[in-house]
Amino acid sequence: MIEFVIFFFFAAVAVIFALVVILHRNAVVGALSLVASFFALAVMYVLLDAPFLAALQVIVYAGAIMVLFLFVIMLLNLGHRREDPTHPVQQFLGFTGAAAFAIAMIYYLAKYAAFRMLPAGPFLSDARSIGVALFESYIFPFEMVSILLLAAIVGALLMSGRAMGQRANIGAEVNR
Amino acid sequence: MPFDATDIVLSIVKIGIVLFMMLNITPIMAWVERRGSALIQDRPGPNRVGPFGLLQAIADAAKFILKEDIIPAQAHKWLYTLAPAFGILPALTTIAVVPWGRPFLLHERTVFGRTIFQGGRWFEPIVADVNVGILVVFALASLSVYGLATAGWASSNKYSMFGGIRASAQMISYELALTLAAVSALLAAGSLRLSDVVWRQTGYFVLFGGLKIPAWNVFSPAMWLSFIIFTVAGFAETNRLPFDFAEADAELVAGYHTEYSSMKFALFFMGEYMAMGTMSALITTLFLGGWDIPWWNEPPTFWGFLASAIFFLIKVAFMMFVFVWVRWTIPRLKYDILMKLGWKFFLPLAIVNILLVAAFIAKGWI
């Protein structure tokens, strides 16, 4: 009973803050709302007996990624400028795309996911079992992802390095 | 997990004790900080209100409450008001997963004709003994940056803004070293649960065939580096000198809380000291043996619990004094040096340190 109340409360929190993210015009408010939404999602993981995933959800998404988002938004210092109205074609494509996705989602959930009982028995998601799974069964995809991330880091370094080089050249010209 | 009314009452008692401690850290530490700085700088310090100026904290509190609460016209009103709450929530909640005494057995007894603690029940002096304890700590600690960043942005003031941005950059950078340094203590305990980390440290290292040294992590050579990295990163994480760029007075007026006054400022002030208390409790738990009393096998009774809880408090108080001591001894670094130190020195050092500790554990030397 208590779990039900907690579930519906935090489900509502997650949905409401997710709506604020897309509807609010201020980017900082949007970013903070996304954090709140992630936090409510973490509560869902706790309700599913997966505290490890809940902690990781908060550490990785709310604590690391969204801090960087907020950081960039604050550094860009976006004003309270109103955006230009979008083109009707854009609006049409946006609405139809979203509607099609929603219909597909509801169809999928109704057909495959809903009303199916969860497997009985203990659901193991502690650090040890996840670590063993990652480093035994899924070692190849795991290492592949790490190479992908490395490529992204090298790419970012290359791009920022090139930009810094250009700036140094501009500075040299101004000095001349 | 089934639970009954006794569990709920015990939980409320534990939460009450922890909350009382956390809320009292600020006035006590404000006094210690002022008198400590006076001691170090060879001047009397506040000594007018009460004996040794002990009532100064109450005078300060009254002043905070009575000051006018100003919201700048340019500020984003919602976020400006919410930011102090964002700041204080992680500081108040993180301590929930830290054990603060030896568990003891509550014997069955009859109160008002009702039997409570049927068949005996263990009292675990920890609010939430979750199996991912340290991850909860890092999850909540990583949220504390939002308080500072939001405050800086919502104030619409360039000094606040710089303070907020510096705070977030600093906390992101040092969180990595902090987490990696904590990993070594977790490796040694083989668990993410903080009470397991403490239980592992309750034994002894026996040297030269007879000399018994408490098995606290800080006494094991493999952990010295982790202890130093964790403490330094902890200083950066709590925005204390020599890393207090978020509010560097000389450059930024007062950093992210420049525009704040009255109780809103007091919340930031309290949050800073609570974060310091939590960090001291974490250092104690991970490296200084938690509630373990050396050379004494604490009995599982109320008195064993009380003695260990007091010993835990003494250790935490010592670490907090170290925080004050360092603040008034070491000058502030430059900001670029701080970032370089974090990314180019402490992060690689912490990664190498994990390998070192893992090798020690594999060899069975811990």
DSSP B94-147: GGGGS--S--EEEPPEEETTEEESTT-EEE-SSS---TTHHHHHHHHHHHHHHH
Average pLDDT, chain B: 82
Q: Is residue A124 scored above 70 in pLDDT?
A: no
Among the partner-chain residues A63, A71, A126, the one whose CB lies closest to the CB of B139 is A63
Q: Looking at chain B, list the stretches that DSSP marks H as alpha helix, in order from N- to C-terminal side.
A: 5-40, 56-66, 77-93, 133-154, 158-189, 194-200, 224-237, 249-252, 262-287, 302-327, 335-340, 347-363
Q: Do A29 and B140 touch (CB under 8 A)?
A: no
Q: Among all chains, which residue has been given the structure tokens 């709450």?
A: B85
Half-sphere exposure of A30 (CA within 13 A, CB side): 12
| Span A134-161, pLDDT tens digits | 888 888 998 999 999 999 989 888 887 7
Q: State the CB neighbour count (10 A cutoff) for residue A76.
A: 9
Mean pLDDT (whole number) for B180-189: 86
Q: Do B146 and A67 touch (CB under 8 A)?
A: yes
List Cβ neighbours of B166 (8 Å cut-off, separation of 6 or more).
B245, B246, B248, B252, B255, B335
Among the partner-chain residues A52, A63, A64, the one whose CB lies closest to the CB of B132 is A52
For residue A40, which residues of chain B lie inside 8 Å, CB to CB? none
Phi, psi of A94 (to 5 degrees): -60, -50
Instruction: Tell me the C-alpha distance between B315 and B277, whole Å.
Output: 11
Q: Is residue B342 scored above 70 in pLDDT?
A: yes
Q: Do A74 and B146 touch (CB under 8 A)?
A: no
Q: Looking at per-residue confidence, does B107 or B198 come out higher?
A: B198
Instruction: Tell me the C-alpha distance between B182 and B98, whole Å.
Output: 14
Q: How far does A78 lie from chain B, in Å, by closest CA? A: 11
Question: Does A58 reach chain B within 8 Å, measured CB to CB?
Answer: yes
Provide the CA B5 distance to its chain's centre, in angstroms. 31
Distances (CA, A) of B61 to B57, B67, B181, B276, B277: 6, 10, 37, 19, 19
Q: What percent of chain B has pLDDT over 90?
A: 2
pLDDT at residue A147, rounded to an integer: 93
Instruction: Tell me the C-alpha distance between B126 and B18, whole Å.
Output: 9
For residue A59, which residues of chain B lie inside 8 Å, CB to CB? 135, 138-139, 142
**Residues forming a β-bridge with B114:** B111
Q: Is residue A173 scored above 70 in pLDDT?
A: no
What is the 3-class SS of B298-310, one letter each residue?
CCCCHHHHHHHHH
Q: Is residue B200 scored above 50 in pLDDT?
A: yes
Q: How many helices (H) and strands (E) does chain B have?
A: 12, 6
Question: Does A69 reach chain B within 8 Å, measured CB to CB?
Answer: no
| DSSP-based three-state secondary structure for B214 | strand
Strongest mean pLDDT among B66-70, B114-118, B219-223, B307-311: B307-311
Task: Please name the residue of chain A whose CA is at the shortest distance from the CA of residue B134.
Answer: A55
Q: Looking at per-residue confidence, does B54 or B283 come out higher?
A: B283
Mean pLDDT (whole number) for A164-172: 52
Instruction: Tell me the C-alpha distance between B155 and B164, whole Å.
Output: 10
Span of A140-144, B37-41, B129-133 with lowest mean pLDDT: B129-133
pLDDT at residue B138, rounded to an integer: 87
pLDDT at residue B249, rounded to an integer: 67
Can you say whether residue B156 is alpha, beta or left, with left for phi > 0 and alpha for psi between -120 and 50 degrees? Answer: left
Q: How far does A53 lie from chain B, in Å, by closest CA? A: 10
pLDDT at residue B250, rounded to an integer: 67
| Span A100-122, pLDDT tens digits | 999 998 888 877 765 556 665 55
**Is the preceding peptide bond at B46 cis, omega within 30 degrees of 0?**
no
For residue A55, which residues of chain B lie inside 8 Å, CB to CB? 132, 135-136, 138-139
Q: Do B135 and A56 touch (CB under 8 A)?
A: yes
Question: Does A56 reach chain B within 8 Å, measured CB to CB?
Answer: yes
Q: Is residue A12 scored above 90 in pLDDT?
A: yes
Q: What is the ipTM of this complex?
A: 0.79
Tokens representing B59 are 């005078």
**Residues forming a β-bridge with B212:** B206
Q: Do B135 and A67 touch (CB under 8 A)?
A: no
Question: Does A35 reach chain B within 8 Å, measured CB to CB?
Answer: yes
pLDDT at residue B107, rounded to an integer: 75
DSSP A68-121: HHHHHHHHHT--SPPPPPPPHHHHHHHHHHHHHHHHHHHHHIIIIITTPPPPSS
pLDDT at residue B3, rounded to an integer: 64
Q: How far does A101 lie from chain B, in Å, by closest CA? A: 33
The one-letter amino acid code at B116 reads: I
pLDDT at residue A17, rounded to an integer: 92
Q: Looking at per-residue confidence, does B226 or A171 come out higher?
A: B226
**Residues forming a β-bridge with B122:** B105
Q: Do A28 and B150 touch (CB under 8 A)?
A: yes
Question: Does A49 reach chain B within 8 Å, measured CB to CB?
Answer: no
Q: Is residue A176 scored above 70 in pLDDT?
A: no
Span of B146-155, B199-208, B246-255 with lowest mean pLDDT: B246-255
Mean pLDDT (whole number) for B11-19: 88
pLDDT at residue A103, rounded to an integer: 93
Q: Among all chains, which residue has been given the structure tokens 């005078």?
A: B59
Q: Do A71 and B79 touch (CB under 8 A)?
A: no
Provide the CA B42 distance to its chain's centre, in angstroms. 28
Q: Do B164 and A74 touch (CB under 8 A)?
A: yes
pLDDT at residue A116, rounded to an integer: 59
The DSSP call for residue B67 is S
| Span B68-127, pLDDT tens digits | 888 888 877 888 888 888 888 888 888 888 888 888 887 777 777 677 666 677 788 888
Maximum Cα interatomic distance, chain A, rounded to a whole number of Å = 75
Q: What percent of chain A has pLDDT over 90?
A: 19
Q: Do B149 and A52 touch (CB under 8 A)?
A: no
Helix H or strand E segment including B206: strand B204-207
pLDDT at residue B215, rounded to an integer: 78
Strongest mean pLDDT among B113-122, B190-199, B245-254: B190-199
Mean pLDDT (whole number) for B3-28: 84
